[in-house]
Structure 1
Amino acid sequence: MYAIIVDPLSSGSEYLNELRNYAIKVISILSRRAQNSMKTSHLSDYVTEEEDFSSLLQNILDITQGEKILFCLPGSEIGVELAEKIAQNLKLKTNNKDFSKERLNKYLMQERIKHCGLNAINQFLIKNSTCEIPHFSFPVVLKPTQSAGSDGVIFCKNQQDIKNYIDKNFGKINKIGVRNNELLMQEFIAGTEFVVDLVTLDNHCELVALWEYEKILSPEGNFLYSSLKLIDSEHKYFNILLNYAKKVIKALGICFGPAHVEIMIDKDEKPILIEVGSRPHGGKSQAIMRECFGYNQITRTLDNIFKETKNFTYAPKKYGELVFLISQKEGKFKIFGRIDDIKKLNGYIDFFPFIAENEYLQSTKDLSNIPGIVMFAHESAEVVTNSVKKLRDLEKDENFYEIYL
């Protein structure tokens, strides 16, 4: 039997290892967008998407030789569209095809949930580089209609900022290989940002992890993501977030596989959708889920499919936090000068550097150019909180980021 994973990049690469435990043969497919824009050096055996979609389908059938194909899932945001298209054409179980566009396009996504009576962001679709922009209270958020992470997301404080953003980004190919033929302007929602990571199978929807983003204000006046913190079921917004997230994915027709739902709790304590990804939470989130729960979105997705084991409890064994390093320095990078001190902090689990010697260290502007992530997990929330504070103190040391002079 076979399973197909499209663009097993970022956290989705874990599918490849986990499927071996089930003795399932895997076809890894690399989309054209991934071939053009992503690092794929960890993949040694894969099928590439061709210009002719029918040729790709035939290639899959030639490989499987009549053996059963169990499913086709995306391993990252860049593979969502192709994965659903393959599944639909091979008559495999997948998300509701009636809302495929709404799951991909952030403008249509908000319009869909608004139609279903859910809280949604006020927005305006910029269809060309010279269109007249309606009045919104500043600041506003501008972003591509189809992108991943914080790619192309910026706060604009006045009309000139908006014009500069449109001039720079309209028609540009973004990091997931999509040309920005439309841009999206949305009202800025003041509040606290959360992430709800779910797994779905038909009518079953289960919570895997719920997170709160910590943010700080940059010297330029923009918000920087500081950390991603696991929260427990005692959190005051736990039920509000979970119930809203489940309604959102139902409205968008997500009913097979992982879903990653980003939600803001506004100043009136109401949930408002930021966006949804019909794929696993990226980055290092799957690793810390496994540390804190003993499982993650990938393993729970496969358990639901193969074992039909449904999880109705939410009980983290540890408190966890992913800390995003924030550099104020710039220059030719040498080393992280305080690594040994980081590793001595209570609850330290792992360090993931995103920059190597001789590469150029930039001052951190958003999640796309953070220099690294430090993972903490411990049975005590207080231990984690104290260690994160000590890490931030270490980061202020002049020798934390050593650069060549």
Structure 2
Amino acid sequence: MRRTLMLLGGARHQVPAIEAAKRLGLRTVLCDYLPDNPGQHVADVFYQESTTDREKMLEVACREHIDGIISFGSDAALPSAGYVAESLGLPTNSLASINTLSNKYLFRPYLAEHGFNCPKAVSFSAEKDGSSVLALCSGMRFPVILKPTDSSGSKGVTVIAEPEIAGYDAAIAAAREFSRNGILLCEEYIERGYPHVIGGDIFVTDGRVRFWGLMDAVRDESIGGLVPVGEAFPSGLPTDQAVLLKREVQGLVTSLGLRFGEMNLEVIMGRDGKPYIIELGGRAGGNLIPQQLQDVSGINLTEASVRCAMGDEDVDVDFDPLSGEGAPIATLVPHARESGLFAGLDIDPALDRYVYRSEIFAKEGDHVERLVNGSKSLGILFLRFPDASTMRRLLAKAPQLVNVRVH
């Protein structure tokens, strides 16, 4: 009989994991609460169930006699995957470490208590009002950032410039909308010493980071600059700062006892020269980052993730951007700057000549919304450049070179 992999989530960016599992000869069991998820048409078995219901996921896992479980590219389902795996003795990172990474109200104190660089932060109930939260934040430097503690893609994130109650009230309301656990976080804003947030994915085997997919996050400052609208490889981070960053990340992986898997990273190099780990997600990055890094490195990270979930950690994923490997490859997320009906996408010829693949999710006439978080993206453009300097020059002008028409 074929071995069975259970996958939590069948969204567009999760389908490659189902396809990889099938290429490896595995039987696939998919769970997703959405009735129109595309993954159900690829998987062998589909259950329309909430992936955050860990007891239901355990029930399905037992019924299907699974040999492995993965939450590919989904933060929300990670604790369920860890719970099922620990309950059945399947390959997993510890549920305690998964919970720490998945909840910022646990992650920030963990960083501070274990000696990692961390901004001053405080967590609180989403039911609190602006006045009480302002008091909790006494002594913090402004600006501050207020956010949910269990969401991703910059959902519900607000920068508060001044200590005013009205600003806190509005930010709490925005964060509450995307909070499942009812716990919010306010933390000091870290001023960047290096101009870009460092994003991308790493891959861990046997407790060591073997793959370093460090990239510069591309932001559109015309819409606030909070939501990533692309990733550029290689990062332009100076070598000495990259060494510090890698040391901090490996230290955290070791401290948490993380054994294996692809993990999404977000790090800010502060003006003090220190690396601040903002996120270490226990899953592959969104916006097709695994596919981008496969194009960069030639290593199929999605397949490696599936194999590790099935207990095979003998995967060759060694890749280090400091060694000079990999072509200058970037992604851009076409996005609307105002809501309306999608009327088409215009790409300036200066940039279009470097597009080698595109996936546009919106169709003409679809209602599209202004990009306020990662869920509002309209597709992905993949670009290959002749050199890093050309890439950086054009990406700096990307908001002017890629235009989503709406009416």
Partner of 1:98: 96
Contact 2:335 2:371 (8 Å CA) reproduced: yes
Amino acid of the structure 2 residue aligned with 1:111: P
Taking the aligned partners of 1:318 and 1:368, their CA distance within structure 2 comes to: 28
Amino acid of the structure 1 residue aligned with 2:22: R
Contact 1:102 1:109 (8 Å CA) reproduced: yes
Partner of 1:375: 382
Matches within 5 A, 1:2-401: 2-30=4-32, 35=33, 40-44=37-41, 45-49=45-49, 56-64=57-65, 69-75=66-72, 76-127=74-125, 128-130=127-129, 131-133=132-134, 134-135=137-138, 136-158=140-162, 159=164, 160-170=166-176, 172=177, 174=178, 179-191=180-192, 192-218=196-222, 223=226, 225-231=228-234, 235-236=238-239, 237-302=241-306, 306=312, 308-314=314-320, 316-336=325-345, 338=346, 345-388=352-395, 392-395=399-402, 400-401=403-404
| Per-residue Cα deviation, 1:97-149 (whole angstroms, up to 9, x for no partner) | 33343122102111112211111121011223233422222211111011121
Taking the aligned partners of 2:18 and 2:391, their CA distance within structure 1 comes to: 31
Taking the aligned partners of 1:196 and 1:53, their CA distance within structure 2 comes to: 28
Percent of residue pairs bearing the same amino acid type: 18
* Structure 1 gap segments, 5+ residues each: none
Taking the aligned partners of 2:22 and 2:374, their CA distance within structure 1 comes to: 32
Contact 2:228 2:374 (8 Å CA) reproduced: yes
Change (3 A) 1:379 1:299: farther
Q: Secondary structure at the match of 2:155?
A: coil
Q: Secondary structure at the match of 1:5?
A: strand
Q: Secondary structure at the match of 2:18?
A: helix
Taking the aligned partners of 2:247 and 2:394, their CA distance within structure 1 comes to: 32
Taking the aligned partners of 1:104 and 1:289, their CA distance within structure 2 comes to: 23
Contact 1:265 1:271 (8 Å CA) reproduced: yes
Change (3 A) 1:179 1:293: same
Q: Secondary structure at the match of 1:218?
A: helix
Taking the aligned partners of 1:54 and 1:216, their CA distance within structure 2 comes to: 41
| Per-residue Cα deviation, 1:139-171 (whole angstroms, up to 9, x for no partner) | 11111011121111111123221122224443x
Contact 2:218 2:395 (8 Å CA) reproduced: no
Amino acid of the structure 1 residue aligned with 2:69: C
Contact 1:229 1:322 (8 Å CA) reproduced: yes
| Displacement of 1:81 | 1.2
Change (3 A) 1:210 1:285: same
Contact 1:139 1:188 (8 Å CA) reproduced: yes
**TM-score, length-normalised on structure 1?**
0.83
Taking the aligned partners of 2:284 and 2:89, their CA distance within structure 1 comes to: 22
Amino acid of the structure 2 residue aligned with 1:15: A
Change (3 A) 1:52 1:242: closer
Change (3 A) 1:21 1:119: same
**TM-score, length-normalised on structure 2?**
0.83
Change (3 A) 1:147 1:243: same
Taking the aligned partners of 2:397 and 2:142, their CA distance within structure 1 comes to: 35
Taking the aligned partners of 1:296 and 1:232, their CA distance within structure 2 comes to: 20
RMSD, aligned α-carbons: 3.0
Q: Secondary structure at the match of 2:326?
A: coil
Q: Secondary structure at the match of 2:214?
A: strand
Taking the aligned partners of 2:349 and 2:358, their CA distance within structure 1 comes to: 9
Q: Secondary structure at the match of 2:76?
A: helix
Q: Is 382-391 or 150-159 further displaced after alignment?
A: 382-391
